Structure 1
């Protein structure tokens, strides 16, 4: 069977009609790590081809549905040492790629309001930054034709150089409020907080301090947007099996951000130093990295800032035998990273 190359932002539809969103850039042989996003449901508010679908929001609900009804989409991963949602490649009915959706909308004669806005966002970014269209994508509900008239726009940008270019230009556009772009105000951030706090516990003061300066989100033509920055295939150095990950505990730490060059990308990564253990199980001398596969933890802190972070602790063993620890954020509602004054 031909290898399926799937990455962050892609969606997978199974032979039963379940729709999963792909997580990360590295996958085990014969499976794609992905999490349930849409299921057919007679009471669902989203309609496609005469069928109603329901969006599954929380990670806990996704895991529960898959475990109870579709156990074939959970496997024990020897690389990560834990059970994970994933789709066997032989059970894939359709592979949705964001970059293909851009071409699809360009060639479509009639666009609805949401599609028109998404394509306008792509065209605006392309015109301003000269980012090749083939290095841009439209993901989220629009990608799988399950959007509504009020849906957000989710965009993907591929490649280090393209991502940095778009990020820097977007920073200016948001600050100046030009070309239809607008930063989130406190009312918008309050609404976002009410949605996020269900799955990531945090005080509003801490949330606001971080989210108000993020560049990957905002409004475009009065519609919410989110941009996911993703390394291109030839920039992904790690291959499945190069490192072994094992959970060894859960901890809260204080740390200094040494390097934030991967902070805007999904998955995101922060190199840390001067680690102090506040509580939990962790050897602070070995903890050198905080990472997350969830977009909400991108742009969470900048180089030179002190943070308080809480999450799962993994020991990482490389092929050469080197060992270090990392903190992984996003698996539990109690995971967080906030700025320390």
Structure 2
């Protein structure tokens, strides 16, 4: 039997057949933080499904045709799905188990299975999300590999030499986020995305434990732009990313823009812009606020 709780990167199918993805490990009673990604039109490339979120990023996400609710604990508005509307819960670990067991013969899944064995990934701490999890992949689909847990995530980063560089990601990130090509190149990490045997891969890291909802209560305190040294452990790899910034004072940085997670992992000089929040007894800079936007970029 699969786990009965929800984690980041899980997929949901509602009663109308729309497909959503969960993006946190903390969810309020009665509903989930999740964004709409696919709707069935019979004309879509993904076995009749079409993507309604073709590119990631908070500015695109807030335009989705789905329900958004204000969260009083965090002082922001999130896309949500009510549990009463969920028809099916798809778990990445079960999706990977099925692929490994059945060994389907298509380009993406063959590359995935080869990658797992070649790099000695423990399938018990891994999963697959995206179109492969949903069973709607097409011949040119990407592979979205999920690694669960602190140790497995850091072991992978420390042992994997890296993919062949995906120049398309750099160009798309530059256009999608309005960044220069030079900044996009500095954000790119070939250990978390790239090309393997002709297939595009992304590696996503997920805390395998659910978190308690409303651990922090936050209020908005304006916006901030500053420089300093960021220190991030494995929590920087998860979504939303979290790290400590030492600037004129100490802040916690929480990023809802996944492109900045690699920059937040480790220690380096950075420039940061975001919404300033007062959360419990600490100051937090939120990157990806719908009003402020923001960034975490490495300084030269």
Per the normalisation by structure 2, the TM-score is: 0.88
Contact 1:254 1:309 in 2 (8 A): yes
SS of equivalent residue, structure 1 residue 143? helix
Aligned match of 1:300:
263
Contact 1:230 1:266 in 2 (8 A): yes
Contact 1:210 1:301 in 2 (8 A): no
Contact 2:287 2:293 in 1 (8 A): no
Aligned match of 1:5:
5
Contact 1:118 1:138 in 2 (8 A): no
Which runs of structure 2 are paired with 1:257-272 in the superposition (5 Å)? 257-272=230-245
Aligned match of 1:240:
213
Counterparts in 2 of 1:197 and 1:250: CA distance versus 1, 3 Å: farther
Aligned match of 1:169:
159
Once the two structures are superposed, residues 56-76 of structure 1 have per-residue CA deviations (whole angstroms, 9 ceiling, x without a partner) of 23444543342xxx4xx3222
Once the two structures are superposed, residues 5-54 of structure 1 have per-residue CA deviations (whole angstroms, 9 ceiling, x without a partner) of 1111111111111111111111111111011111123542221xxx4433
Whether 2:128 is the aligned partner of 1:138: answer yes
Aligned match of 2:50:
53
Equivalences, count: 295
SS of equivalent residue, structure 2 residue 44? coil
Structure 1: distance between partners of 2:228 and 2:237: 19
Which runs of structure 2 are paired with 1:317-332 in the superposition (5 Å)? 317=280, 323-332=281-290
Structure 2: distance between partners of 1:262 and 1:96: 24
Contact 1:37 1:62 in 2 (8 A): no
Whether 2:259 is the aligned partner of 1:335: answer no
Once the two structures are superposed, residues 265-290 of structure 1 have per-residue CA deviations (whole angstroms, 9 ceiling, x without a partner) of 33321211123xxxxxxxxx4x5111
Can you give the 5+ residue segments of structure 1 that lack an aligned partner in the other structure? 175-181, 276-284, 318-322
Aligned match of 1:280:
none
What root-mean-square deviation, in Å, do the aligned CA atoms of Structure 1 and Structure 2 show? 2.4
Deviation at 1:196, TM superposition (A): 1.8
Structure 2: distance between partners of 1:217 and 1:141: 16
Deviation at 1:89, TM superposition (A): 0.9
Counterparts in 2 of 1:265 and 1:83: CA distance versus 1, 3 Å: closer
Aligned match of 1:290:
253
Contact 2:157 2:191 in 1 (8 A): yes
Whether 2:164 is the aligned partner of 1:183: answer yes
Contact 1:309 1:337 in 2 (8 A): yes
Aligned match of 2:33:
33
Aligned match of 1:79:
73
SS of equivalent residue, structure 1 residue 87? strand
Deviation at 1:250, TM superposition (A): 2.4
Structure 2: distance between partners of 1:309 and 1:301: 11
Aligned match of 1:219:
195
Counterparts in 2 of 1:302 and 1:63: CA distance versus 1, 3 Å: closer
Can you give the 5+ residue segments of structure 2 that lack an aligned partner in the other structure? none
Aligned match of 1:278:
none
* Larger radius of gyration between Structure 1 and Structure 2: 1
Deviation at 1:81, TM superposition (A): 2.0
SS of equivalent residue, structure 1 residue 298? helix
